[in-house]
């Protein structure tokens, strides 16, 4: 197994937000599932989710988080030396979101700024990339991670509707004298690329009017070609078997285990799956960071969202916390990191209330 190590960096802060609409699953699933709605909620453990109003973009959510983070961490624009934006739902297919963020925050034009197009496995990738930029430049790196999945989600799909949500986040990574070493590993299996995908509207099937029509499928779901399709069982098998074995091997390779690591921050796929995963890796549920029951599954942003949401009950305030983070999903793809979270860093969870009205705008 290839392990990627980096030291001399630390996280100055993590800010995350959820968008405008709080969805109560008991109400929202009733139409599709009837009396089974309660069973579905008990089974996934996801009670409420947050979805964006139409037109609220992934950069809108992340920009609000970034502004709060820079203020909260006391960081000036000129201290930022790189912008990495993890999203598979950018504001537009072109240009990329990082440019929008850099401009709106008033950052230097002479810094790297780019997007990383990954779904649920994205955060550890973003963290590793941001850390390497911070270390190489001696400047801080700003990592944004957020998705508006609802823009590509049918309201009538039995696999995605019960779990999927929107969210945004910002993480600030600084060069540091600290010697704590972060370790990462990555896993990709393209043979499962069709298990979780948006079939139409990419260059393989260029956009056409028919992609926007709802079609009915044998399980009773209705989706457009531009909506996310998920083979629930294939993804479950990937996580319960491949990812959990791979994560165990990652820990073994590092000589780490649930006994040497303080806590586990998993991607909030659904509460049942992460409970099983935590159990297999021997992290008690009390040491497993959670946000999915209240906030749903917002793709790769769930890791920073969970940090910002659950730090109060999970972060040990008396010491540097060594945590395992992991994301897994579309690709198929997984990522993992053993990183440190400091008690004195800036953590904040926010609610996005809509675009600010600008002067002169009607």
Q: Is 237 near another protein (CB under 8 A)?
A: yes
Stretch that binds another protein, among 21-29, 136-144, 222-230, 265-273 (CB under 8 A): 265-273
Contact window for another protein (CB under 8 A) among 56-64, 89-97, 272-280, 353-361: 272-280
Alpha helices in the chain (DSSP H): 25-28, 30-33, 37-44, 58-72, 97-104, 122-137, 232-237, 244-254, 271-280, 292-295, 302-314
Strands 346-351 and 9-18: parallel
76: exposed, middle or buried (Cβ count in 10 Å: 0-12, 13-18, 19+): exposed
Q: Which lies closer to another protein via its Cβ, residue 4 or residue 272?
A: 272
Tokens of residue 197, six digits = 């995908």
What is the nearest approach in angstroms of another protein to the Cβ of residue 9? 37
Specify the stretch interacting with another protein by CB under 8 A; choose among 16-24, 36-44, 92-100, 285-293. Answer: 36-44
Minimum CB separation of residue 237 from another protein in Å reads 5
Q: Judged by CB under 8 A, how many residues of this single chain contact another protein?
A: 15
DSSP annotation of 17 reads: E
Tell whether residue 233 is a contact of another protein (CB under 8 A). yes
Nearer to another protein, 19 or 330 (CB): 330
| Of residues 240 and 293, the one with the C-beta less far from another protein | 240
What gap in Å lies between CA 339 and CA 26, rounded to an integer?
Answer: 37
Q: Which of 56, 270, 297, 335 binds another protein (CB under 8 A)?
A: 270
What b/e sequence results for 23-48 when a residue is b if at least 16 CB atoms lie within 10 Å of its CB, and e otherwise? bebeebbeebbeeebeebbeebbbbb
Give residues 172-201 in contact with another protein (rule: CB under 8 A).
Answer: none
In terms of CB distance, is 280 or 287 closer to another protein?
A: 280
- Distance between CA 42 and CA 295 in Å, rounded? 15
Q: How far apart are CA 140 and CA 84, in angstroms?
A: 11
Report the interface residues with another protein, using CB under 8 A: 39-40, 42-44, 232-233, 236-237, 240-241, 270, 272-273, 276
């Amino acid at each position: 197994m290839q392990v990627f190590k980096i030291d001399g960096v630390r996280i100055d802060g993590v800010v995350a937000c959820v968008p405008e609409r709080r969805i109560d699953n008991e109400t929202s699933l009733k139409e599709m599932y009837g009396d089974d709605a309660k069973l579905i909620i008990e089974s996934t453990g996801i009670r409420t989710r947050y979805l964006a109003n139409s037109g609220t973009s992934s950069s809108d959510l992340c920009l609000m988080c970034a502004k709060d983070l820079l203020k909260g961490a006391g960081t000036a624009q000129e201290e930022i030396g790189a912008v990495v934006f993890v999203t598979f739902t950018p504001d537009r297919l072109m240009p990329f979101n990082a440019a929008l963020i850099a401009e709106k925050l008033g950052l230097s034009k002479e810094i790297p700024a780019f997007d990383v197009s990954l779904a649920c496995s994205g955060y550890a990738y973003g963290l590793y990339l941001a850390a390497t930029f911070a270390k190489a430049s001696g400047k801080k790196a700003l990592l944004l991670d957020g998705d508006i999945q609802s823009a590509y989600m049918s309201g009538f799909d039995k696999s995605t509707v019960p779990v999927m949500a929107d969210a945004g986040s910002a993480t600030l990574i600084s060069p540091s004298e600290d010697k704590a070493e972060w370790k990462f590993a990555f896993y990709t299996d393209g043979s499962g690329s069709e298990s979780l995908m948006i079939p139409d509207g990419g260059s393989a099937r260029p956009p056409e009017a028919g992609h926007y029509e709802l079609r009915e499928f044998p399980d009773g779901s209705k989706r457009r070609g531009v909506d996310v399709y998920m083979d629930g069982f294939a993804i479950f098998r990937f996580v319960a078997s491949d990812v959990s074995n791979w994560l165990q091997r990652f820990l073994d390779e590092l000589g780490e285990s649930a006994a040497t690591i303080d806590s586990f921050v998993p991607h909030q796929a659904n509460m049942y799956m992460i409970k099983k995963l935590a159990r297999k890796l021997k992290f008690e549920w009390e040491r497993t960071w959670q946000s999915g029951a209240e906030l749903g599954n917002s793709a790769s942003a769930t890791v920073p969202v969970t940090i910002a949401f659950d730090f109060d009950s999970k972060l040990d305030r008396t010491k540097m916390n060594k945590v395992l983070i992991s994301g897994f999903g579309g690709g198929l793809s997984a990522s993992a990191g053993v990183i440190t979270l400091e008690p004195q860093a800036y953590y904040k969870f926010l609610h996005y209330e809509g675009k600010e009205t600008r002067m002169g705008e009607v």
